[in-house]
Structure 1
């Protein structure tokens, strides 16, 4: 029942990890049940029974069975107490040892043995609970295959995952675990990627479709070109997050350790005061025994580790307990528009020709002028024309003016594709109402041979899940703000669609950073969600930076939380997990303090005997640890069982 719980992880080159646990200052809690513990518990139980029924007591003043039971059964507790004394550290083992020895000193051997029995049983139950958490994490870390089938130079061979290289063709049979992030180059299957993206149903994978390491191939053989391997895969990033969570200690964990120490000091002080005022040794012993702190000291890191594992299963990498804790306190979410709330992919919505011009002439002129353009809007126009079966003509001349648009010569005529300023530069007047009803559209006007042909409405597409995500964020009482480099009319249309009331538009990256900095200075707890290089400064400035999975490397490196897909609902789920974790931890804090204060008060007035005090101590601590254990993710075997039930055709 030690308040000290420490984890370390040894990673290997392929992104797997072998876990080991250590508790240099205390009893090892992360163990599975051992026969030696069972024998020790049985021995103490037998000794308590013998003392109660007075079996074999050759000495009138000392219970031989009681002393033997305490020395053998209580040795692990006494050993940890001695280690605590040597390290000048106050622990629950030390206070419980004082209580046990005090009970034995006044010949309350039955009481001392039952207290020891409660402590040993609680140690085992606590250890099994924490061990379950570690097994859940080991399931995560040890999931990737160690041996991989690879096609090289036309021959298939099995190699160690450590020697995989980018570009290798990896073969995965039905039921196999995908070891790399890559693209399917042969085969067809359904893949369960719940571990990576949180998708509840298997997804169909065909040639050209991306797959993620850590996914399970279900129905057909796949050949995958490796694009990211080992630590660089999405699954490798999850492992890094778990390792970081185990290495680092969130402020709330340090608070839990300090509070546990204070409670022990408080209990001993209350015990001394009780004895000085009442001279009642049984009441004094009860005061020491009833005080418990392991529920918070062991439960807090268990809750944080479980929450990070659960977030990973939901499709979000949280890079440490600190960021999980801060995410649970967020009251303002700042969102970038392009690539976050929208797909960041322009879509041609409608062609608006002027009177006397048909749509085909408008589209042909624009597509021909944009044939050699690298601009996203130009590519959108060209793709739309080709989809309608048009064949753009090769321009004899092509020119691009930044901030204006395209001027090209097609069939000897000057074609202009650009904004109102470009038209004005060439003496053309654009009617004010030409784009009426389309405030979200980028300005794209088309003219040929000095005649305005019309306008093309091109706009970004709002992600279908964005509205649901924003509604869920608002339901949590969290404020949302839209920051974008886009024009204000475009930003306001998107904000209105999603229910966001506060918008800041036409911002440079530095402007976004300053906006976030002002919010932080105003005392807001800010999470910034973005995907691009221009979002990186703001991501760093926020309390918690959140990067979309399809975002740039700069954004992902700058972020504290990385979504493994592009679904904002994953962010909402992670936000909910963080808030739930915070509630559970603080409920454990409040519960521990309340139980200890009430218990100490009752014990000091002689209303609790040592046996009842021990029962309260053990049951309350186990209750708080089990409360934290609710955050642990489901075991892999359970998840895979559900996955198999969801397989198409099952």
Structure 2
């Protein structure tokens, strides 16, 4: 296709040809004195620019829809019949320019989607029968080994099974800093290698990749209609017939056909119609660039009204990776290392999430593991009892020590005091007993994310009045976390169904609630909330599909950024509506009281469309955020700690497992 053919099929062909014909008409009539040919060329310009409008109006009428195109069509036909060819050409030309601008703007605001599609990989290098074979990305078979070399795009979702490297994951998470990848790490299609060599086992191919799901979600979201937009559609259905009737009545009263036709033209609410979709598409596009996937305009509007945010604790406010924080020896014959060694050996035979930080801490201190226990006996709701070299070693809550029927009252009281103190300071304490005799206490805690306090501060700055933490942890521990982070309200000891009821209770109090969770175990609460937000959703297909908003980057500060974006988008929509209404009202008054011609009215009308478009496009600019005073998380000091919801395995927090762990470990974590 030649450049001329390409231009002729483009959005600017109709207004361009019509504009040239209008210039030719002026030249023929005023420079050459050819009035006849001037009128012919002007009529031709009206025909070129008006034909697409007439076609749209006719199609709308056959579908029993009276739209804005009908207003312009009636006005133009009337102008031609009274031989006002200049007005007819000017109106259709300006209307065509307006449509081209709208189309160009929507294309521009959909740039995030275009960029996502552009990063989709085309080819992949796979190992087949020991040979490197280049195939189309969609032809890779799940389970095959894919090779990712420096500078190449990752063609599939997968797991690194060999090699090391760094990947630019901006297309998925919005984070521009390359991420180091080692064996066992996840990689996503569309990310780009900035160094190293990776062997990846494919787990998601083609439409099953995270990138494909993101593209699908953004595409759907930008086409979805907001409540305000749906209202505008209903408004237009009544507005257009009303204007036609008004124009007819005005024409009959004044006996002025030109006045009636002018009213039809300037009453076109084009700026009003474009004001909503262009703002929504721009807002959703900006969010997609920042790793914020918003399901559609309705959810964008609802997000702007959020005044209460409910947060899960583990994996959201905290890291979701419990670690050993304290070892206290109660027996004078044993030191802290010996207490830890006993606890680690007993826990070595346990699959409980809290066993891992104890075992890992012992390994980090260079303690030699002497093998698995001779016998392991989990005690539901209490802890674990193991046999080590003929001795019964119990690790768990005080109820487990009672179960052992120990008679060491002094050590028992000392253990109670230590457990109470550790729990107050936000630890999860576990008593270590040998043959029923308490010899020490070990405690684990989950580190608060360094940016959690700043997230809460920014939520408040964004207009959120209440930040609530919902957790399965005990009151003492939950409040320790809440006070450190700046949470307004803490609700502790909750099962997943209790979290749902907590969200419903907030709604009954009149709050518009956003629930932030992992998109799976918090599903009941996420579904009940006005807006469900999945945190760190990269690679989690369920979260991307089910959440109203999916934050692709595991970054707490993205949450207030999303709410601020929603508020800015709705504010822009309202500004655009006001601009459009004021313009139409002013022009209508100008027509009634004289002074506004059809061409002038259309020119002002299209100028208002341009203003609305430019106002909406401001949303596409990346907003500069104020620097955090003292650095992100400065209020946490040297790493504030709080107990994990005990069910949270590193990297995979689970509300259901949280409750099970709470029941098992008892004192310091026992709920109700």
Measure how far apart 1:199 and its partner are.
0.9
Equivalent residue number for residue 380 of structure 1: 357
Measure how far apart 1:375 and its partner are.
0.8
Equivalent residue number for residue 502 of structure 1: 489
Output the CA distance in 2 between the equivalents of 1:465 and 1:326: 26
The alignment status of 1:217 with 2:200, answered yes or no, reads no
Any idea what SS the aligned residue of 2:240 has?
Answer: helix
Matches within 5 A, 1:359-370: 359-370=336-347
1:587 to 575, 579, 589: 575
Measure how far apart 1:334 and its partner are.
0.8
Measure how far apart 1:63 and its partner are.
4.1
Measure how far apart 1:496 and its partner are.
0.9
1:598 to 567, 572, 586: 586
The alignment status of 1:289 with 2:241, answered yes or no, reads no
Count of matched residue positions in the alignment of Structure 1 and Structure 2: 602
2:291 to 299, 307, 315: 315
Output the CA distance in 2 between the equivalents of 1:518 and 1:353: 45
The alignment status of 1:456 with 2:432, answered yes or no, reads no
Any idea what SS the aligned residue of 1:395 has?
Answer: coil
The alignment status of 1:475 with 2:452, answered yes or no, reads no
Asked whether the equivalents of residues 396 and 409 of structure 1 are also in contact (C-alpha less than 8 Å), the reply is: yes
Equivalent residue number for residue 642 of structure 1: none
2:432 to 440, 446, 460: 446
Asked whether the equivalents of residues 136 and 632 of structure 1 are also in contact (C-alpha less than 8 Å), the reply is: no
1:398 to 376, 379, 394: 376
Matches within 5 A, 1:70-219: 70-134=46-110, 136-219=112-195
Measure how far apart 1:374 and its partner are.
0.6
Matches within 5 A, 1:259-298: 259-298=235-274
Output the CA distance in 1 between the equivalents of 2:112 and 2:546: 28
The alignment status of 1:43 with 2:21, answered yes or no, reads yes
Measure how far apart 1:341 and its partner are.
1.3
Output the CA distance in 1 between the equivalents of 2:579 and 2:497: 46
Measure how far apart 1:346 and its partner are.
1.1
- The worse-fitting range, judged by mean Cα deviation, of 158-167 and 538-547 is 158-167
Output the CA distance in 1 between the equivalents of 2:400 and 2:147: 54
1:479-506 CA distance string (max 9 Å, x none): 2111111111111111111111211110
Equivalent residue number for residue 214 of structure 2: 238
Asked whether the equivalents of residues 348 and 381 of structure 1 are also in contact (C-alpha less than 8 Å), the reply is: yes
The alignment status of 1:434 with 2:422, answered yes or no, reads no
Asked whether the equivalents of residues 165 and 181 of structure 2 are also in contact (C-alpha less than 8 Å), the reply is: yes
- The worse-fitting range, judged by mean Cα deviation, of 122-131 and 65-74 is 65-74
The 3 A distance-change label for structure 1 pair 407 and 603 is same
1:615-637 CA distance string (max 9 Å, x none): 11111012213333344589xxx
TM-score by length of 2: 0.83
1:57 to 27, 35, 41: 35
Output the CA distance in 2 between the equivalents of 1:345 and 1:358: 26
1:555-593 CA distance string (max 9 Å, x none): 665432223232222232222222222222222222212
Any idea what SS the aligned residue of 2:35 has?
Answer: coil
1:357-392 CA distance string (max 9 Å, x none): 411121111111112011111121111101111124
Asked whether the equivalents of residues 319 and 561 of structure 1 are also in contact (C-alpha less than 8 Å), the reply is: yes
Equivalent residue number for residue 633 of structure 2: none
1:67-111 CA distance string (max 9 Å, x none): 343334432223333333333322222212222233334443323
Output the CA distance in 2 between the equivalents of 1:53 and 1:259: 47
Measure how far apart 1:546 and its partner are.
1.5
The 3 A distance-change label for structure 1 pair 50 and 285 is farther
The 3 A distance-change label for structure 1 pair 403 and 556 is farther
Asked whether the equivalents of residues 470 and 498 of structure 1 are also in contact (C-alpha less than 8 Å), the reply is: yes
Any idea what SS the aligned residue of 1:218 has?
Answer: strand
Equivalent residue number for residue 667 of structure 2: none
The 3 A distance-change label for structure 1 pair 49 and 163 is same
Equivalent residue number for residue 225 of structure 2: 249
TM-score by length of 1: 0.86
Any idea what SS the aligned residue of 2:417 has?
Answer: coil
Any idea what SS the aligned residue of 1:452 has?
Answer: strand
1:625 to 605, 610, 613: 613
The alignment status of 1:572 with 2:523, answered yes or no, reads no
Any idea what SS the aligned residue of 2:230 has?
Answer: helix
- The worse-fitting range, judged by mean Cα deviation, of 324-333 and 430-439 is 430-439
Asked whether the equivalents of residues 307 and 632 of structure 1 are also in contact (C-alpha less than 8 Å), the reply is: yes
Any idea what SS the aligned residue of 2:310 has?
Answer: strand
The 3 A distance-change label for structure 1 pair 465 and 292 is farther
Measure how far apart 1:528 and its partner are.
0.8
Output the CA distance in 2 between the equivalents of 1:68 and 1:35: 15
Measure how far apart 1:194 and its partner are.
1.1
Asked whether the equivalents of residues 263 and 292 of structure 1 are also in contact (C-alpha less than 8 Å), the reply is: no
Output the CA distance in 1 between the equivalents of 2:476 and 2:365: 30
Measure how far apart 1:295 and its partner are.
2.8
Any idea what SS the aligned residue of 1:367 has?
Answer: helix
The alignment status of 1:328 with 2:328, answered yes or no, reads no
Equivalent residue number for residue 346 of structure 1: 322
Measure how far apart 1:35 and its partner are.
4.1
Any idea what SS the aligned residue of 2:195 has?
Answer: coil
Asked whether the equivalents of residues 41 and 121 of structure 1 are also in contact (C-alpha less than 8 Å), the reply is: no
Name the Cα RMSD after superposition: 2.7
The 3 A distance-change label for structure 1 pair 88 and 377 is closer
Any idea what SS the aligned residue of 1:259 has?
Answer: helix
Output the CA distance in 2 between the equivalents of 1:38 and 1:255: 34
Equivalent residue number for residue 629 of structure 2: none
Output the CA distance in 2 between the equivalents of 1:382 and 1:58: 96
Matches within 5 A, 1:508-547: 508-531=495-518, 533-547=520-534
Structure 1 unaligned spans of 5+:
1-30, 635-650
The 3 A distance-change label for structure 1 pair 360 and 66 is closer
Asked whether the equivalents of residues 105 and 278 of structure 2 are also in contact (C-alpha less than 8 Å), the reply is: no
Measure how far apart 1:355 and its partner are.
6.0
Output the CA distance in 1 between the equivalents of 2:297 and 2:90: 38
Asked whether the equivalents of residues 260 and 296 of structure 1 are also in contact (C-alpha less than 8 Å), the reply is: no
Asked whether the equivalents of residues 519 and 546 of structure 2 are also in contact (C-alpha less than 8 Å), the reply is: no
Output the CA distance in 1 between the equivalents of 2:26 and 2:237: 31
Any idea what SS the aligned residue of 2:180 has?
Answer: strand
Output the CA distance in 1 between the equivalents of 2:520 and 2:47: 65
Output the CA distance in 2 between the equivalents of 1:128 and 1:247: 16
Asked whether the equivalents of residues 263 and 291 of structure 1 are also in contact (C-alpha less than 8 Å), the reply is: no
Measure how far apart 1:158 and its partner are.
1.0
